Amino acid sequence: MNESKEPLVGASVVVKGTTNGVLTDENGQFALSVPNKEAVLVMQFIGYLSQEVKVGDKTEFIITLESNDKTLGEVVVIGYGTTNRRDILGSVSSVKDKEIEQTTPVNAFDAIQGRLAGVQITSNGGPGLGSDIKIRGTSTFSGGVNPLYIVDGQQLEDIDNLNPNDIATIEVLKDGASAAIYGSKSANGVVVITTKAGKVGDVKFDVDYSNVISSVMSTIPTVTAKERLFYENVRSGSNPNLPPSDSLSLLFQYSPDLQALLFRTSNRNQINATLSGGSSFARYYWGMGVMDEQGVVVNSSYRRFSSSLKVDTDIKKKLTAGTKLNLSFELQKGLNEGTVFQQLAERIPYFPIFEPDGSFTPEIAGRQNSLAEAIKTRRDTRNFRAQSFNFAQLQILPYLSFKTTLGVNFKLEKLNNFDPTIVQTVGNPATGSEINNLDHDFQHENYFTFKKKFANKHNVQAIAGMQLQRWNTENNRLTATSFLSDNIETFNNVREFNLAQTNSGKSQHSLLAYFGDLSYDFKGKYLIKGTLRRDGSSRFGSDRRYGTFPSGSIGWRVSSEKFMQKSLTMCRI
């Protein structure tokens, strides 16, 4: 039989070293004559590890074969619980920590890029700018396309601050059958991340360091000064083949390689340290990461400092609890990429970059100096985040448990922009702005989980619970259109504020949801799953406040049928 106590029909049983053997019947039983007590029986079945048993004085054997397909035996985090991969009816893809460790990702998106079918990840290019993820294409014309992120049970709007070194598994729920229990927020798919946890055993301390060097593969094709003049002669109707009146003129010889000044070889240094261990009472995991990256474009960089602590405890035999704390700080220094590269493509090649005194040449004929735009403008973004998630679980009965969770997410973001006079239209003063955003949200859940097997045939798992979430946002924006000097970028150096773009705001909204999930399978062959969630949002009027999101699916594991067990290891419809 297999690990689920189900008979294996057609398994091969052979006396080792001979051709004497039989196949098991429909009940998984066999009868075989052996030459002596020293004989060894070899059991084999497709999809399972072979096993050898010495006969000895026994005449009856109960033999259990283990599956040799580790992938099908994986436990997958889905919904508010876990399930065996072979029992999944929806579309779920996974990436494990071993695969992540083979790369040197900056964020969680880099870790799964190109590894999952139906998952499109587009990097924004600059250091610290993050990535966009689409699961099975775009599902809306005007709304957002980003999926819902769940980290150890805590629902988040982005995971840019998460250290990839702390990730144990990433599960992507790609269809309604697997993601419906998350309701309206799962319209674009769900990314479920489980972080590493401590294990019972000795204290383990690991440190790793990586260095990555990058450069642009190719530059933007642009014309030289001579090619530009040739084009201008053609456009004006002049003879393009006539030689210049003065072939030694700087106008015809000046063609600086602006891209060589804009691009550079980037360097990224990353160090991670982890400390883990535990006993039968408590397990702990602490991780720390520091990353410093220079972009391939001058004046662009990204730094991240992160630290996480995860503790799980067995307070009593039937009561467990855990807490997780994640702190991070990010500093992203960038530039106005759109303006820089647009001006690079449009700028007349014989326009000078530097003045005779070495200073930057200002705007000429509406064309900005791309190098000045890259070096002198300021686009700084600072992010400080603190995330806490706590849970307690009570095992009421062997087949019934209750779990309560409480999560808090805090984010403080500060953006500083400054455009000096050198990048303005000639005669206009420097401009700048400062934006402060404070976001904090609260998440609370209570749910019961029922899991039991009846008559060794009927497997039933049910989940029922509620969720409460509240989001609070505060922001203010200060914009100035006339700085007195380029040397002081603070607002005590301002002659005039732009009142139309100087404002502040505050908002909050909440969501209340009830959810249920029921899974049933008969002998591991026939599977049924149903999910129902009802979301209520304060963003809608009282007559349209609630929405119901049902989902249902059925499955048939063909490979578990007697007539297919000899031919298939795994087949599910």
Over the Cα atoms of the chain, what is R_g? 32
Bridge-based pairing of strands 21-23 and 12-15 is: antiparallel
Number of Cβ within 10 Å of residue 423's Cβ equals 26
pLDDT digits (tens, 9 = 90+) for 245-255: 555 555 566 67
Average pLDDT over residues 358-370: 84
Q: Kindly list the distances between the CA atom of residue 466 and the CA atoms of 167, 182, 322, 518, in Å, as whole numbers in the listed order.
A: 27, 11, 20, 15
Higher-scoring residue by pLDDT: 525, 156: 156
103 C-beta neighbours (distance < 10 Å), count = 14
In the chain, what percentage of residues exceed pLDDT 90?
Answer: 32
Instruction: Return the minimum-mean-pLDDT range out of 129-143, 204-218, 466-480.
Output: 129-143
pLDDT 10s digits, 63-108 = 888 765 444 445 666 677 766 666 666 677 788 888 777 777 788 7
Cα–Cα dist 428/486, whole Å: 12
**φ/ψ (deg, to 5) at 254:** -80, 115
Please give the structure tokens belonging to residue 327. Answer: 């702190």
Nearest to 518 by CA among 430, 433, 452, 472: 452
Q: What percent of the chain has pLDDT over 70?
A: 86
Rounded distance between C-alpha atoms, residue 251 and residue 226, angstroms? 9
CA distance 50 to 16: 12
Nearest Cα to Cα of residue 379 among 441, 319, 336, 410: 336
Amino acid 7: pLDDT: 77
- Once rounded to an integer, what is the mean pLDDT over residues 168-174? 86
Q: Which domains does the chain have, with CATH numbers?
A: 1-68 (2.60.40.1120), 75-195 (2.170.130.10)
Contact 178, 91 (CB under 8 A): yes
